[in-house]
Structure 1
Amino acid sequence: MDAPPRPARRGLALGVGGTVVLLAALDAYVVTTVLTTVVKDLGVPINRLERITPIITGFLLGYVAAMPLLGRLSDRFGRRPVIEACLLLFAAGSVVTALADGVPALTAGRAVQGMSGGALLPVTMALAGDLWDERRRPVVLGAVGSAQELGSALGPLYGAGIAAALGWRWIFWINVPVAVLAMVAVWFAVPGGRPAGERPRIDVAGGLLLALGLGLLVVAVYNPDPGTSALPSWGLPALAAGAAVLAAFVAWEIRSRTRLLDLTGTRRGPLLATLGVALLSGVALIATLVDVQLVAQTLLDEDAVGGALLLAWFLVALLVAAVLGGLLATRTGERVPLVIGMLVAAGGYALIATWPADLAGASYGPLPRMDADLVVTGLGLGLVIAPVSAAVLRTVPAAQFGIASAAVVVARMMGMLLGVSALSAWGFHRFHALTADLRPPLPFLMSKSAFDREFAAYTAAVQDALRTEYQELFWITAGLCLLGAAVALATPGRPSDP
């Protein structure tokens, strides 16, 4: 690699790297607030929302599958060319998404964005490992991780704002000039060449096995006709095949000399427990980002901006608690805030699951109940963000800080991917089951007053079905957070603990 850059050049390189990570993270969550707008524009019936699930899962699958593999690719060919290539692909995927006239094209564009965006985090973390010594590296890695978390919080609000002002397609058109400017900045700021030492081999087989296994699980729970069952006809065989492929991936990683994540010298129990908490928190995060928006737009008749403003209570609390969680971890160790955070989140989802029918009028004294419950939930999940990253760094050797930090994001994204797939499959099936006996009234068979009464009753029944579906999904999420609190008991405690 080139000679180590001066401190100012290192800071510039980190700033540019953090910016491209923020760009990709924004795009990961940007569609959650504009789903119903996209549905209407593409001509998908509002009662067939299951058809747009691939728009979310396509991005997440590409993000998770590409992240570890392309991170290793940068070890072999250098950070700058991989970042440049990913930004170019990100811009291309954005163009495809902006021009899409149907769900398949939109899914394809989002998948390309996910694959290219997913590589930017581990490559930037690896760049930090190149430029800073072991003593300062955790702080720098924390700064890069903060850009990822900031993107996750701002993405839904950013998407709603752009869609309201310019239309949802401009969310992706804006990415093109931004990606080009980022490529120019990367060219001047990020050192060229490749890391010093022997060129590492790339675990292509492991990367393909991971992508195939996750892809099969996603396909297994995607049901285009949820009215008859929660899983499609191919669901069980695809689940079995996905589990078998992931088992083969684990076996390969154990025996292979070249691995996506080398666990040599790690404390495997605490590491796996920490990644388990990250995965379960990812399930809870995507449930909130998607389902709170749907509650706002289907039960409260809000538009994308109104839904985003409701979600903002959760997102602001998430960011505040992320800082508090880091401070608490420095005093008590990571285990305490992880357990407390998941327990508080479980309580928050239990409160959301018991939202009443008159949701707009519900309050705790002067505080609107929706806002207060979302703040509680955001505080709980936010407490987990910093400690889960710090706990992973305590379980691996310093040489693996970069890939271990990326593994936290991979685990969270895997939770989001599998969570949105499985919860959507269950939710859509339950909605169809709850509304199977409902028939909309026909205006030409009755008087106008009778039709108005019948239609009002039909609308109320559909609303009740939606409310029941959302309640069940949030109860499931609360249970998963309780499981996360139990798993967190096995994470690292105080630095002096074994």
Structure 2
Amino acid sequence: MGLMLALFLSSLDQTIVATALSSIAGDLGGWSLLPWIVSAYLIASTVTTPIYGRLSDLYGRRPVLLVSVSIFVAGSALAALAPNMPALIAARVVQGLGGGGLRAISLAVVGDILPPRERAKVQGYLSATFATANIIGPLLGGLFVEYLSWTWIFWINLPLGAAAFATTYFQLRRLPKPGKRPRIDWAGAALILLSCTPLLLGITLVQRAGSWLAPEALVCFALGLAFLVLLILQERAVPQPMLPLQLFRNPVFTMAILVTGLTSMVMMALVILVPLDYQLVSGLTPKEAGLRMIAMTLGSVTGSFLAGQAVAATGRYRPFAILGAAMATAMCLVISFIGLGHSLLLDTVVTLLLGLSFGCQFSPMTVTIQNAVDPRDGGIAISCMMFFRLMGGAFGVAVLSSVLLWHLPGGVAEGVPPLVAAPAFSVVFLVAGAIAALSLAAALLLKEIPLRGRT
């Protein structure tokens, strides 16, 4: 229960805030800073994910998860009390510093208490928690803004966080604790932050500027790559690195990470761009476009649950990764050539199959990664998966948004005629299909190894 609450907290925050952005800007001003309310949390939570994973390997899951929940709740309170936009953005950074551990450590705990073959079943329930938060988040945000105040999108995290803290404190006391005093690679932790933060900032600036050649974005990419080189040198030299590079010498781990990252590129970009397609090409209202996205969300939950049950029953994960990637490729190509908005039935079927394809890949890949590594590295392995999933998502949104802007004369603006927008979105889905095809190639190269049982 504590793990599901922690996952619910981290997932709800990403959707409940979006519906309140205009109200926040209306009260606090600073419209130019509005995008950073989302970006500040995303960057802070992403760059700290691998650090939390490694710390949980060294100090134990329970204490690190409790610290993560506490920081997240403190950041939520600061956000609710923020008097102006800069203060709110700073509070969102604090929230992100806590949020980085919520999802990754929760998944790592599942790896501690269940063997890989049985673990796949639980992934379906965790995916259901994630999807539930995605569905009710915008609804809750809208209700809070309309009937109470936007501050309640942050106050709601206090009782939920208290419940997550209490259940985690009592239910996870029996988790194994590390046997020896750890040596912390603080230099590695600092270099992770210094390398990943500029890269994410660069991706954010690309989205804002609409160009990969924006000078400020290029500076961020250069800084990130320079610190990345230093990080690799540091982690090769220390006995207990914050990011063990030997994980990437494991071909199963590396291919699973590649499948996850490429799939996330497609999924996160389509979550943003499919509703935009509905509105610009088909003339649907934002509410109507949002309702049509429910099929994709339900598909991802169903796919994750069914794939988890099938992996537990068969002990095999590779067929589901291949099936999911092949289905995603096919559906992207179908949308590219046929388009969306012709009929509710067709849209529902196609987006439902897209969601199923994503679920078929994400749930089995979590089990694959946990099964491929030494249990002592389970936390950092899952954190790496979450990190590359988040980075892949951010990169995918930037890439496919840029493709859309390049093929829309004058960019995305009100009044773009459907005859102009439709070909642009056709190219977007064609590129998405190409990325999904790369994921299929990686899945075909994925080696099948037996899932560990309770022995």
Contact preservation (8 Å) 1:124, 1:144:
no
Q: Which has the higher helix share?
A: 2
In structure 2, the CA distance between the partners of 1:414 and 1:307, relative to structure 1 (3 Å rule), is: same
**Partner residue of 2:138 out of 153, 160, 167:** 160
- Distance (Å, rounded) in 2 between the aligned partners of 1:41 and 1:116: 22
Residues 274-313 of structure 1: pairs in structure 2 closer than 5 A: 274-296=256-278, 305-313=287-295
Contact preservation (8 Å) 1:91, 1:175:
yes
- Aligned residue in 1 for 2:357: 380
TM-score, normalised by the number of residues in structure 1: 0.76
Q: Which amino acid aligns with 1:398?
A: P
- Aligned residue in 2 for 1:410: 387
Kindly state the Cα deviation for residue 480 of structure 1 after the two structures are TM-superposed: 1.0
Residues 385-404 of structure 1: pairs in structure 2 closer than 5 A: 385-404=362-381
Kindly state the Cα deviation for residue 460 of structure 1 after the two structures are TM-superposed: 4.7
> What are the superposed Cα offsets for residues 340-387 of structure 1, whole Å, 9 maximum, x if unpaired?
21121122222333454xx54x13xxx622212211211211111222
**Partner residue of 2:329 out of 335, 346, 368:** 346
> What are the superposed Cα offsets for residues 280-303 of structure 1, whole Å, 9 maximum, x if unpaired?
111122112222333345555656
- Distance (Å, rounded) in 2 between the aligned partners of 1:223 and 1:205: 27
- Aligned residue in 1 for 2:73: 91
Q: Which amino acid aligns with 1:413?
A: L
Contact preservation (8 Å) 1:60, 1:417:
no
- Aligned residue in 2 for 1:82: 64
- Aligned residue in 1 for 2:440: 485
Kindly state the Cα deviation for residue 408 of structure 1 after the two structures are TM-superposed: 2.2
Q: Give the number of equivalent residue pairs.
A: 443
Task: Please list every run of 5 or more consecutive structure 2 residues that lacks an aligned counterpart in the other structure.
Answer: none
Kindly state the Cα deviation for residue 93 of structure 1 after the two structures are TM-superposed: 2.4
Contact preservation (8 Å) 2:47, 2:193:
yes
- Distance (Å, rounded) in 1 between the aligned partners of 2:210 and 2:298: 40
**Partner residue of 2:406 out of 430, 447, 457:** 430
Contact preservation (8 Å) 2:201, 2:220:
yes
> What are the superposed Cα offsets for residues 52-86 of structure 1, whole Å, 9 maximum, x if unpaired?
55444433322222122123334555544433332
- Distance (Å, rounded) in 2 between the aligned partners of 1:464 and 1:193: 59
Task: Please list every run of 5 or more consecutive structure 1 residues that lacks an aligned counterpart in the other structure.
Answer: 1-14, 439-457
TM-score, normalised by the number of residues in structure 2: 0.83
Contact preservation (8 Å) 1:30, 1:159:
yes
Residue 52 (structure 2) pairs with residue 70 (structure 1): yes
Residues 127-146 of structure 1: pairs in structure 2 closer than 5 A: 127=109, 132=113, 136-138=114-116, 142=120, 145-146=123-124
In structure 2, the CA distance between the partners of 1:58 and 1:423, relative to structure 1 (3 Å rule), is: farther
Residue 25 (structure 2) pairs with residue 42 (structure 1): yes
- Aligned residue in 1 for 2:223: 241
Residue 128 (structure 2) pairs with residue 150 (structure 1): yes
Give the fraction of aligned pairs with identical amino acids, expressed as a percent: 25
- Distance (Å, rounded) in 2 between the aligned partners of 1:410 and 1:103: 28
In structure 2, the CA distance between the partners of 1:108 and 1:423, relative to structure 1 (3 Å rule), is: farther
More deviation in 105-114 or 378-387? 105-114
